[in-house]
Amino acid sequence: MAATLAVKIDDLTVAYKYKPVLWDIDLEVPEGILMAIVGPNGAGKSTLIKAVLGIVKPVAGSISIYGRPYRKNRSLVAYVPQKGSVDWDFPTTGLDVVMMGTYGNLGWIRRPGNKEKKASLEALEMVDMLDYRNRQISQLSGGQQQRIFLARALVQNALVYFMDEPFQGVDATTEIAIVNILKELRKSGKTLVVVHHDLQTVPEYFDWVTFLNVKKVATGPVKDIFNERNLANTYGVNYKTSVQN
Amino acid sequence: MGLPEYFEWLRHDYTIRTITLGTAVMGIVCGMLGSFAVLRKQSLLGDAISHASLPGIVLAFIITGLKDPLVLFTGAVISGIAGTVMISAITGKTHLKSDTALGIVLSIFFGFGMLLLTLIQKLPNANQAGLDKFLFGQAATLMVKDVLLMSAVGTLALFCLIFFWKEFKILAFDAQYAQTQGFNIKMLDVLLTTLIVLAIVLGLQTVGVVLMSAMLLAPAAAARQWTNKLGTMLVLASIFGAFAGVAGTAISASAVRISTGPVIVIVVVLIVAVSFVFAPERGLLFRYIRQWKNRMNLRTHKLLLLMYDIASSHADFTHPHSLNILKPMEGYRYKLKEMKSMGWIHYDNHTWHLTTEGYVMAKELNENVTKR
């Protein structure tokens, strides 16, 4: 096998209470790809990411990042949670949230200093949010909040990025800006795994895709496997039922 | 006795000084830790913990036969922690939501505590008198060793907050993300909750089981109104808490036979009320004024844009037009005065026209309206 594996998931099974949410997932993510995870509601897309990151405890399975268990290689991984997962009325500024991305490398007790601040400002600049650095985060628009989350992941300086619906509730301009940043990251050799909802944009934004519906349906390059058959297998036969006018 | 006498007493009277110091320290500790409880949406947890500590207090007395504060506090802490453990067990193992779990634990523990209280009142032991003071608190029973205990716990809490400042901040804002950064959020959660339990238990003697949660939440809720910074919020909450403690003590000491706890709570609720109305950014009053001003400005701008449209129909924008044309616009005569004072227009009894300034202003507005 030629390509280095950024992420390798083996036999991953996750259950909330009784019902399995993910069933026996095997997934290999080669280095340097921009992968979409698609599937219907309740397919376990977010859970997959959370299980990889150890937020959700799996029933079985193992995760490795660059050949070592996730726990050992945690610093190589950055995470962009769903925007709605936090309270944006928290008393803090955009810059302060981005600085949180430096906490992991700092470890316990050590406070961020000038170096971390500089890195955070650069990350804000990358997502075009430098002007809003001192703005209370509740006064940012949904798209701006999403950019702040993206900047927080960028400042982690990771190799692998997991993002949970980064395009949810953002306008077209922000969506394009974020896509460009993701493509930029891929070009510099990073690996990105993105939970995505909009099937229309998959071929345009991503080069790899994983179809998920509790079980893994298919995974591979978009040009090879993004087809009717896999879509039907993932979303059910009637996935294409269109709105009648 | 009036307030001046209180301050006179404060200088000379050892007891009053002890009580004042005790309520101040309690206010500071509660303000600090309450801020995190509020930000982590655990407002009701404080109420459950304080009610849950009652059976611990009574049991500690029944088992040891002592009314030593350390013994009673230990009992309270144990049953307070047992309450929180039970809450997380209920939410974790059943389909019940946390508000239901809080309600269940609160009533079971409090009911059990009340049962024990009535039981021991029947015991032929004169020593039990005074335990029911924990229901509504009695600051007058504060002694130097109580205040020392409070200060010790307060100092411990302060050190923990300073030490783990960034950890507590990221825990409160985004716990799951904190976990992916390698922080042991379980441990942080246990530490923070333990500190909150300690703060509550220490306040019980002064404010009582029933009203204690107000001491935890109100200073924090008030402080949040005045600042957008976490650090400032904690400092403000501590100041509000301390102020309420001291003011409550002063008022209740000045008026005969008013218990301190309820007065402290009333003072702190007043602080909340003032903060909700008068805080500059988040307060209702200024928000209302800002909205009103905004609406007025928008109306002025609308009128100016109408005038701009009319003026633009002529090659010369200073061409005078009839005032009648503006009649459909609400309150236009008042607006005309305003716009004249801004130098945007000239007008007399029958006609008006834009000035160069007004024209430029309107042109700018017109472009901005369509821009994002």
DSSP B130-169: TTTHHHH--GGG--HHHHHHHHHHHHHHHHHHHHTHHHHH
**For position B372, what pLDDT does the model report?**
47
- Which chain B residues have a beta carbon less than 8 Å from that of A80? none
Asked if residue A112 lies in contact with residue A103, where contact means CB atoms within 8 angstroms, the answer is: yes
Binary contact (B180, A77; C-beta < 8 A): yes
CA dist B250 → B173, B207, B234, B243 (Å): 38, 15, 24, 10
Binary contact (A100, B170; C-beta < 8 A): yes
Report the residue from B167, B176, B233 with minimal CB separation from A81.
B176
CA dist A26 → A12, A73, A200 (Å): 7, 19, 26
B159 in reach of chain A (CB within 8 A): no
Binary contact (B180, A111; C-beta < 8 A): no
User: Is pTM beyond 0.80 here?
Assistant: yes
- Which chain A residues have a beta carbon less than 8 Å from that of B282? none
**For position B1, what pLDDT does the model report?**
56
Binary contact (B173, A103; C-beta < 8 A): no
**For position B258, what pLDDT does the model report?**
81
Measured in degrees and rounded to the nearest 5, phi and psi for residue B195 equal -60, -40
- Which chain B residues have a beta carbon less than 8 Å from that of A87? 39, 41, 173
Where does the pLDDT of residue A193 fall: very low under 50, low under 70, confident under 90, or very high at 90 and above? very high
Asked if residue B202 lies in contact with residue B139, where contact means CB atoms within 8 angstroms, the answer is: no
Query: In whole numbers, what is the pLDDT of chain A averaged over residues?
Result: 92
Binary contact (B39, A104; C-beta < 8 A): no
Q: Which residue of B has its CA nearest to A173?
A: B372
Average pLDDT value for residue range A175-194? 96
Q: Write the pLDDT tens digit of every residue in A105-115.
A: 999 999 999 99
- Which chain A residues have a beta carbon less than 8 Å from that of B41? 87
Q: How much of chain A exceeds pLDDT 70, in percent?
A: 96
**For position B256, what pLDDT does the model report?**
67
Residues of chain B with CATH 1.10.3470.10: 3-272
CA neighbor of B34 nearest in space, from B220, B268, B233, B229: B220
Between B368 and A9, where is the model more confident?
A9
Give per-10-residue mean pLDDT for chain B (372 aa): 74 86 95 95 91 94 87 94 94 88 95 92 69 84 90 95 96 96 95 94 90 94 96 97 94 82 94 95 91 88 85 80 77 80 83 84 80 52
- Which chain B residues have a beta carbon less than 8 Å from that of A136? 228
- Residues 6 or more apart whose CB falls under 8 angstroms from that of A80 comprise A149, A150, A152, A153, A161, A162, A163, A164, A166
Asked if residue A99 lies in contact with residue A184, where contact means CB atoms within 8 angstroms, the answer is: no
Interface size between A and B, measured as CB pairs under 8 A? 76
Instruction: Classify domain B286-370 by CATH architecture.
Output: Orthogonal Bundle (1.10)
CA neighbor of B224 nearest in space, from A100, A152, A30, A87: A87
B180 in reach of chain A (CB within 8 A): yes
Binary contact (A87, B230; C-beta < 8 A): no
Residues of chain B with CATH 1.10.10: 286-370
**For position B348, what pLDDT does the model report?**
80
Q: Write the pLDDT tens digit of every residue in A119-154.
A: 999 999 999 999 999 999 999 999 999 999 999 999
**For position B307, what pLDDT does the model report?**
85
**For position B125, what pLDDT does the model report?**
64
A90 in reach of chain B (CB within 8 A): yes
CA neighbor of B359 nearest in space, from B344, B347, B369: B344
Taken in order of first residue, the domains within chain A and their CATH numbers are: 5-236 (3.40.50.300)
The CATH fold of domain B3-272: ABC transporter involved in vitamin B12 uptake, BtuC (1.10.3470)
B228 in reach of chain A (CB within 8 A): yes
**For position B369, what pLDDT does the model report?**
73
Running DSSP on this structure, what letter comes out for residue B211?
A: T
pLDDT at A213 exceeding the cut of 60:
yes
